[in-house]
Chain A
Amino acid sequence: MKPKHQRLALAGAAVGALLLAAALAIPALQDKAAYFMAPADVEAKGIEPGRAIRLGGLVEEGSLKRSNDGLTIHFRVTDNLATVPVRYTGLVPDLFREGQGMIADGRFEGNGTFIADTLLAKHDENYMPPEVAKAIARSEAAAKARAE
């Protein structure tokens, strides 16, 4: 093979690798990326059951209940515009509290309850997950707009 042809072959292989990566990545992104939703988004858009999403908001005061098995909890997540009931089975993260921000990965059941596979609370007392902070700011802005 002449050097020039070899260069062309190598460049072709590189483009091939790039296309392969794209062919693997793009469908996977469309299929597997989980959209972040605040309860108001859920109410507005209506998420079909079974679709993986990431739900974020505040744990509503007074909503946290523990089942008899001691392992499952029920609570409601709110962004002050709408609320969503959530069920989670497992150890609750260290800083999970009523009135605090949290993010849950999971999906909706047919009856509108969100089944969380994982719960994330904030890492320390000063930190609010940015997505949640944004959702709360949005709901405050909406509340203000309505008041005016």
Chain B
Amino acid sequence: MIPEIGHAALWLAAGLALVQALAPVLRVTGLSVPAALGQAILCLIAFLALMWAFVVSDFSVGLVAANSHTAKPMIYKVTGVWANHEGSMLLWVLILALFGAVAALRARAMGERFRTILLSVQAVLGIGFYAFLLLSSNPFERIAPAPVEGSGLNPLLQDPGLAFHPPLLYLGYVGLSVTFAFAVAAMIENRVGPAWARAVKPWVLGAWSFLTAGITLGSFWAYYELGWGGWWFWDPVENASLMPWLAATALFHSVGVLAARNALRNWTVLLAVIAFSLSMIGTFIVRSGLLTSVHAFAVDPERGVFLLILLALYVGGALCLYAWRAGSVTAGAPFTPISREGGLVANNLILSAVLGVVFLGTLYPLMLEGVTGEQVSVGAPYYESALLPLLFLLLLVMAAGPLMRWRAMDLPTLGRRLVPAIAGGLVLAGIGAAIGPRSVLALVGLAFAGWLAIASLMILRGRKLRRVPASVWGTAIAHMGVAVLTVGVSVSGAMSVEKLANLRPGESTSIGPYEAVLTHIEPAGGPNFTAVRATIAVKRSDAVTMLLPERRNFTNPMNETTETDILVAADGNLYAVIGQGDGGGRWQVRLHWQPFVAWIWYGGLMAAIGGLVAMMGGRRRTGRALP
């Protein structure tokens, strides 16, 4: 009964979306806010109904039977709701409806009429995804006869990371739908301008912060769960989340220019359209199963085609509207190349180039297979060689941008402001050369990190800290986060070492500053798996820590996973993985010493916090920066 309530709630929500979409045309504008709130409540009911089916293991629901098991721990019954295709699309629709409700309550700055159109656009997006769920991916479908037991959940997904990573990422992806709706509504109403930019900015920053946090957590999850020791694999699905992130990063910077100086109007609107389009392309890539990936769930070509049609309608429609309207948007205020605007334009251009490189690398295998039938994989070597020059350029401009004045600035003044940053770069590279990496690339990376870190502090120089606007704090924190991340990438990239050993209990090996002893191997287990657990005593000076990596054998479904164990020290991570035994008493052990690798995630989280801080302030500020 409860699954049927959820199913009915979804249909009702789709009906409300239809009303909301047509409200401006039918002149029943009073209905659009209640419809948005109703949709949110109905989607929540549907989502809770599905969660209920998972929690009580109702195997008459096909989705539960295919993805759950009675022996699965409760937390993974709950998070398992979105660890499959249908459930994750339901989560997507729920978040879309929740954002719609928040927009109905908060997006008042542009007036009543604008909000009605905004909500109508949001509802049109919703209708497509309701149709996708109800017609080709119904999560509530019953099967008869119901199996006695379910087939279980992929053990890789039985991890606390599943509770946070997908919802955060979806908050980011779907948050950009509001930005998209803002852009389309502004084009329809011809209202692209500073007021629009100020109204849309908090939405962009909010979505961007969630996306940043989601990507950062996803990277950390892959790092400890996959057991490969890496933190970014240039997997198509990782790129699928990186592309909207790059577009959203460019977007809130250009929104800043539009809000403060009434320039870059067309470009900003186009970016808003592109950012959400890339979110949808991301969903398409993940859900269609077109690309080989860890994230590809059960593959069904019909769904891929459905999503492709949705994508073509929405993106194509918005781009047509753009082409029709772009000519009528008047030119913005003039500025010179050396100015805050100039810096932000450079930011946008470089980010667009980065986006282009990632886009090409991600879709090239698909294009090539379509044209010649040849299959290729594009991996880290491509991205590293193509992106490195662009990223250094980005770090260069990123430090200078916030220290420039709006409209125009002379080079000598800017140079004087940047002297401490140059000194910071040289000092950090010098420290690196003295005690750290012997790699030129890493030292260049450290120089750029030092340069950016000092420049980020300089943003606050000469201001009374208590009166610094939140958006300026946000910039300083987020840019500092990028400097921290750059240190992590440079140092861990150049100085990480890996040691493979085949040890008997009692034997030892050394790695980085540590001495590691495999003390013993013992059987272990959990509710739905058995495991082999190694105890590795790692010693540095006189401090001994026990690391307990495991190798787990899951029964439902049959699968093996490696569980890493990681010692997080102040100057690096010691990462331990246990492999197979050779039957003669020896066990494979792999250890990594990765100096400063954790700074990568600290930096990502700092950037996300910076975005949230700026969002809090963005609503009150006029956007005009102090000179």
A residues in contact (CB < 8 Å) with B: 1-4, 6-7, 10, 13-14, 16-18, 20-22, 24-25, 28-29, 31-36, 52, 54, 66, 69-71, 89-92, 94-95, 105, 123-126, 129-131, 134
Contact = CB atoms under 8 A, between A and B. Distances in A.
Contact of B577 (A6, A10, A18, A91): A91
A105 B364 CA distance: 18
B577 to A, nearest CB: 6
Given A6-B334, A25-B386, A28-B382, A33 B364 contact: yes
A93 to B, nearest CB: 9
Contact of B582 (A24, A52, A66): A66
Given A21-B357, A125-B558, A29 B364 contact: yes
Given A10-B267, A24-B390, A91-B227, 17 more contacts: A2-B334, A6-B331, A17-B350, A20-B390, A21-B353, A24-B357, A25-B356, A25-B357, A28-B385, A32-B382, A33-B364, A33-B377, A36-B375, A36-B376, A66-B582, A70-B582, A94-B560
Contact of B345 (A2, A13, A21, A33): A13
Contacts of B586: 70
Nearest to B354: A21
A61 to B, nearest CB: 19
Of all A-B residue pairs in the complex, the 9 with the closest CB atoms, nearest first, are A70-B502, A36-B375, A21-B356, A94-B560, A3-B331, A21-B353, A91-B579, A17-B349, A28-B386
Nearest to A24: B386
Interface string B375-403: 11111011001110110000000000000
Main secondary structure of the interface of B (DSSP, over half): mixed
Contacts of A4: 331
Interface of B: 154, 156, 227, 264, 267, 292, 294, 331-332, 334-336, 345, 349-350, 352-354, 356-357, 360-361, 364-365, 374-379, 381-382, 385-387, 389-390, 500-502, 551, 557-562, 577, 579-580, 582, 586, 588, 590
Nearest to A91: B579
B294 A123 contact: yes
Contacts of A71: 500-502, 588
A4 to B, nearest CB: 7
Nearest to B152: A124
5 contacts: A17-B353, A28-B386, A29-B382, A105-B379, A130-B292
A33 B378 contact: yes
A25 B579 CA distance: 38
A31 B414 CA distance: 40
Among the interface residues A71, A92, A131, which one has the most CB atoms of the partner chain B within 10 A?
Answer: A71
A94 B350 contact: no
A29 B381 CA distance: 9
Contact of A33 (B382, B501, B588): B382
B381 to A, nearest CB: 4
A35 B375 contact: yes
Contacts of A69: 502
Contacts of A130: 292
B353 A123 contact: no
Nearest to B588: A91
A70 B361 contact: no
B375 to A, nearest CB: 4
Nearest to B393: A20
B414 to A, nearest CB: 19
Contacts of A7: 331
Contacts of A131: 292, 375
A94 B561 contact: yes
Nearest to B346: A13
A105 B588 contact: no
Contacts of B336: 1
A81 B227 CA distance: 34
Nearest to B587: A70
A17 B562 CA distance: 43
Nearest to A126: B557
Nearest to B498: A90
Contacts of A35: 374-376
B331 A90 contact: no
A47 to B, nearest CB: 13
A135 B609 CA distance: 47
Contact of A1 (B334, B379, B385, B588): B334
A92 B590 CA distance: 11
Nearest to A9: B337
Given A94-B559, A95-B559, A105 B582 contact: no
Contact of B361 (A3, A20, A29, A126): A29
Contact of A123 (B156, B335, B381, B502): B156
A94 B225 CA distance: 13
A22 B379 contact: no
Nearest to B291: A130
A129 B292 contact: yes
Contacts of B345: 10, 13
A97 to B, nearest CB: 10
A92 B580 contact: yes
B559 A124 contact: yes
B72 to A, nearest CB: 15
Given A25-B357, A35-B375, A91 B590 contact: yes
B621 to A, nearest CB: 26
A47 B73 CA distance: 49
A40 B540 CA distance: 51
Contact of B154 (A21, A33, A123): A123
Contacts of B364: 29, 33
A132 B229 CA distance: 26
B349 A14 contact: yes
Contact of B500 (A20, A90, A125): A90
Nearest to B502: A70
Given A7-B331, A28-B382, A35-B376, A13 B361 contact: no
Among the interface residues B375, B560, B582, which one has the most CB atoms of the partner chain A within 10 A?
Answer: B375
A71 B498 CA distance: 14
Among the interface residues B379, B381, B386, B590, which one has the most CB atoms of the partner chain A within 10 A?
Answer: B386
Among the interface residues A2, A105, A130, which one has the most CB atoms of the partner chain B within 10 A?
Answer: A130
A32 B385 CA distance: 9
B356 A22 contact: yes
Nearest to A19: B353
Contacts of B353: 17-18, 20-21, 24
A64 B379 CA distance: 28
A14 B352 contact: yes
A79 to B, nearest CB: 13
Contacts of A18: 352-353, 356
B389 A24 contact: yes
A91 B379 CA distance: 21
B80 to A, nearest CB: 15
